[in-house]
Structure formats: structure tokens, C-alpha cells
A and B are shown apart, each in its own frame.
Chain A
Amino acid sequence: MTPETLAVLLEPLFPNTKITKLHLLAGGASKEAWLLDLEQNGQTLELIMRRAGGGAMNLEQLTLEQEFRVLEAAFAAGVTVPKPMAYLPNVLGREAFISERVRGEAVGRRVVSRPEFAPARAELPKRMAEELAKIHAVDTSSLEFLPNSGGVTGAKRSIARLYAELDNVNEPHPTIELALNWLSTHEPTSHGETLVHGDFRIGNLMLSQTNLTAVLDWEFAHLGDPAEDLAWTLIRAWRFGQDHLHLGGISELEPYLSRYNTLTNQNITLQTLHYWEIMGNVKWAVAALTQAKRHLDGLERSVELAVLGRLSAEMELEILYLLEANHAATS
């Protein structure tokens, strides 16, 4: 794509501007990210354009139009997100949207380990709780397309989905069966149905050296139990090697959980987080197997996806570790 072809499409949305930079940052089967600079009255607008890729989408992934609308609702509710600027239904045959480009660092391994982010890490537990509290209060009445729990609790719906995805993998996985059996018989009190970001974790949070600057990657947003969102960042895969720090490799759980409960007037317990942490690991294990199957079925040939099938044993070991920790705690 050249600046000239894009300029024609942008003219009605951003009049009297000139494209000064345009290049592909990351491309994938499902999505591309383009860096885009526009000059307007001597000022530069620093933007990102997300555009659909040519390949098959993941199940339950929102379309870019839907993701853009969720981003608008979150922005309006004061969630710290890149400002959504424009939705483009047809950029050379594929949909796209443009948002503000937020500066900072999002790469998980750097966020949890580099000394220069220590001040941001100190703020993060509290800031993550505040962002989740805002996300879970977003008015979803205009977001009628969001997948919901269909009249059952978020936990029951997650379990049903995971069984369906596991059956689709078409291999026996007794550890995952064991975990789904445990999740079915140990469901905690539901905390209602709210907007759930769906991928809220270190790696999808943009940081400056002192603070959180954006909550990114909204494509898995849905309606569900807010505890699901709260526990996703706990899972070992998202601690980026700092395994002893349960909250995303950056801190203990206490400051995060108590700040969230205070802000939302909820009473989500450590036991409930433990339940959803096991659910998260099962979800990640089944996702890894599903990704390997996408490769094997030829939907998206990729050595990365192929290797994920083997790496599902990491999540299995973690699930068994958590189930045993739970047994030790309750017996």
C-alpha cells in the first residue's frame, strides 16, 4: 500500500492533511499494524492503522469494526486507551481502523525486568485495578454484538466453550478433562455480567517509565464475569520469567485485589481468583492445541503455531500444580 492510495481514502476523514510516514509494523494472517503520520496545519498526528489480514480469523475474535466500537465505548468511559479516530470499511479490500499512537513499552519481558520501568511497576497493581474497575463499568447497551453468556454464569459458559474447543482438537487430554471436571464442581459465586476485556495482562499494557499509558488489544472483548478479567494476568505464562510475583511478574496480589474491590464495591476473594486462574490456564492450554490444529489443518501454516501444540504440556503441568495447591489449602 502506498501513501497515495491511502491518502484518497483519508481525505474525507482528515481534510487538508498530508501523509508523512506510512509503513507496516507487523503483519499476520488475521491482522496488520501500520504506522501512520499525518501532517495537519504544521502539526504531526501520530497514528496507528490496524487492518485485517488476508487469512482466517480466530474463533470469537471481534471484527475490526466491532473492536473499534468497543474502543470508542471504553474511551468514552474514561478507560486509558489509544484514542479511536476513524473506522475505514474498505482499505484495498479489507476493513481497518485508525487510532492514536501511544508511546511506551508493552513487551512483557522488558516490562517485568528492566530497571528503568521500576517506577511504573510500583504503580501498576493499583493502576491495573483502576483500569479494570472502569472497564467493568462500561455501558454495553450499544455493543449488542458482544458474545455473552447466554443466560448462564460466565463460568458455565467458559466451561462449555472449552469443552467444545477441546472436542474440536480431537485428541484425548486427560489433564484438561480433569481441570474442566474440577471447574464444573467448584464454581464460585458469580459476580454478574460486565464488559470483559478478554486479554488484560502484562504484554497488552503500554507503559511509560512511570505509569500505564494504554490498555491495548481489545479483540477478545466479551460479556462475562469480571473475575475472569482480574485473574488472566495471574497465569504463569504471563509472568515472563518473574514467576515468584503472582501478579503478572510485577507484584503480589493483595494491593491489586483490594484496590479493585474498594473501587467496585465487589468482594472478589483470593479463592475466586484461584478458580479463574485455573480456568485461564485451561483456556491457554486449549488455545495452544487449537492453534497447532490451525497449522495442521492448513488454515494458517506456521512453525510458531506448530510448536504451541507441544508447549501445551507447560500449561498442563501448571494446571496440576494449581489443583494440588488447592487440595493442600482445603484439606
Chain B
Amino acid sequence: MQPRPNNPELATAVREFLETEIMPTITDARLKFRTLVAMNALSMLERSGLEEGFLQAEALALAGLLETDVKTMNSRVALDTEVLRLNTLLSSQIRSGVVPSGSVEVLRQIATNKLRVASPNYLKRYET
């Protein structure tokens, strides 16, 4: 077991360093923008603790659409593998012209959860 900081806490430390010590020294607008992008990338890692629960939900929802059983997901690797398998299955089914009913609603929930990690502010744009 690694001592703390854990991974999200480490990402926070680097983001805060960029924000408080590097940003104030940058005068070039383009470099400033890229530093903000880098800080944004780190904030995604800070929220990555949410991911495991979202992946579980994604697997169950996709399996429901596909009317198939989920395989064992008793480790993070097995979970990632299963979510990839189900996404691949649904993608090829849709490519062959078969769109399961309820796809839009399920995929919207999955996209929303992805954005809770990647871009939570974007979700506010649908609230009005």
C-alpha cells in the first residue's frame, strides 16, 4: 500500500502548483491557455474516484439493453474488460442496423456520468 497522498490527492497537488506558482509567471497567452488545459486534465484525475461506480452502472445498463448477462466484475481489470466488451457488442449491433429500444436513454445516462468526471460544468448547460 502506498502512503498518502493517493492518486487524486497527488493530482490536486500538481494542479495547485500550476495554479499558484506557474500561472502567475506566464505572460504568453497561448502558454497560459495550455497551462489551463493541463490543470483541467489534472482535475479529471482528481474526480477519477467516481469512475468505478459509474463503470459498474454502465455494465449493468448496457447488459440490460443487450439482454445479456454481465460477466464477473470482481476486479478493476475485469470490470474494464467487461465494459469494453459490452460497448463493442452494442456498437457492432447498431452498425448492423439493430438499435435496441431505450438506447438513447441508457446512453445519455452513461454520457452524463462520463461528464461528471471529465467536465461537470458542461452538464449545467442543460439545466436551463
Contact = CB atoms under 8 A, between A and B. Distances in A.
Interface of A: 26, 172-175, 177-178, 181, 236, 241, 243-244, 303-304, 306-307, 310-311, 313-314, 316-317, 320-321, 323-324, 327
A175 B111 contact: yes
Interface of B: 30, 34, 37-38, 40-41, 44, 62, 84, 87-88, 90-92, 94-95, 97, 99, 103-104, 107-108, 111-112, 114-115, 118-119, 122-123, 125-126, 128
A304 B34 contact: yes
Given A303-B38, A314-B119, 10 more contacts: A172-B84, A178-B104, A181-B99, A304-B34, A310-B114, A310-B119, A311-B118, A313-B115, A313-B119, A323-B104
From A174, A175, A178, A321, residue with most partner B Cβ within 10 Å:
A174
Query: What are the 4 closest A-B residue pairs judged by CB atoms, nearest first?
Result: A172-B87, A172-B91, A313-B114, A177-B94
Contacts of B87: 172-174
Contacts of B123: 317
Majority secondary structure of chain B interface residues (helix, strand, loop or mixed)? helix
A177 B91 CA distance: 6
A236 B124 CA distance: 13
B30 A26 contact: yes
Contacts of A172: 84, 87-88, 90-92
Interface SS of chain A: helix
Contacts of A173: 87, 91
21 contacts: A172-B87, A174-B62, A174-B90, A175-B107, A181-B95, A181-B99, A303-B41, A304-B34, A306-B41, A307-B41, A310-B118, A311-B118, A311-B119, A313-B111, A314-B115, A314-B119, A316-B111, A316-B114, A317-B115, A317-B123, A320-B104
Q: Count chain A CB atoms within 10 A of each CB in B30, B108, B128 and give the residue with the most.
A: B108
Contacts of B115: 313-314, 317
B108 A320 contact: yes
A313 B38 CA distance: 18
A306 B118 CA distance: 12
Nearest to A28: B30
B94 to A, nearest CB: 4
Given A303-B38, A313-B115, A243 B125 contact: yes
Contacts of B111: 175, 313, 316-317, 320
A26 B98 CA distance: 47
Nearest to B117: A310
A303 B54 CA distance: 25
A181 B40 CA distance: 33
Contacts of A303: 34, 37-38, 41
Contacts of B38: 303
Given A174-B87, A313-B114, A320-B107, A307 B126 contact: no
